[in-house]
Homo-oligomer: A and B are copies of this chain.
Amino acid sequence: MGRWKPDARTRLQEAALALYRKRGFAQTTVAEIAERAGLTERTFFRYFTDKREVLFSGEEALRQLLVSALESAPRSLSPIDAVGAAIEAPAGFFEQRRASARERQAVIAENPELQERERVKLASLASLLADGLRRRGVSDPTATLAAEMGITVFRISFERWIDDAGTRSFASIVREAFDELKSVSAGR
């Protein structure tokens, strides 16, 4: 057995983010990522379909966190509060990844194609939450509206958390944004 090293997936992700930041997403090749990680291209393709996938591979974990939090939210919660509980659920997942989340966001902000991919991902998370609400017996349009508002809060909170110097938790930012949403929609 060789000595311990961070696992190949993590090394590839770190190498990719560093290169995307340094020379731009479009200008980076899979060969360069593999080389920087001290691995082969073949290994890269064992973990990721392409270089874009490196930025979006956390999506499945996020989907599962949201769905299971929504499922286990107390039945007594209103639809919007059940969505609030789901949106707060990935807090721990994100807090462990603050530095790389910030790098990732900076890469996406500079590339329209990646921004489009991110928007599509968020739209699909909204559908996921709406489906979860329907399974809780919430009908439409309430299910769609609550889910869409939840994703808006999620997006705004995530950006704030990324921009924050590191003093505030994701969960507290989400709670504050939900309060703001309630006050805005009440017409205050």
Contacts and interface: CB of A to CB of B under 8 A. Distances in A.
Contacts of A120: 116, 119
A145 interface: yes
Q: Which of A149, A184, A186 has the most CB of B within 10 A?
A: A184
A106 interface: no
A141 B186 contact: no
Contacts of A186: 182, 185-186
Question: DSSP majority for the A interface?
Answer: helix
Interface residues of A, number: 28
A68 interface: no
A80 B152 contact: no
Interface in A129-188: 141-142, 144-146, 148-149, 152-153, 156, 160, 177, 180-182, 184-188
A64 interface: no
Nearest to A155: B148
19 contacts: A80-B184, A80-B185, A81-B187, A116-B116, A119-B120, A141-B160, A141-B177, A141-B180, A142-B180, A145-B153, A145-B180, A145-B185, A146-B184, A148-B152, A148-B156, A149-B149, A149-B181, A149-B184, A182-B187
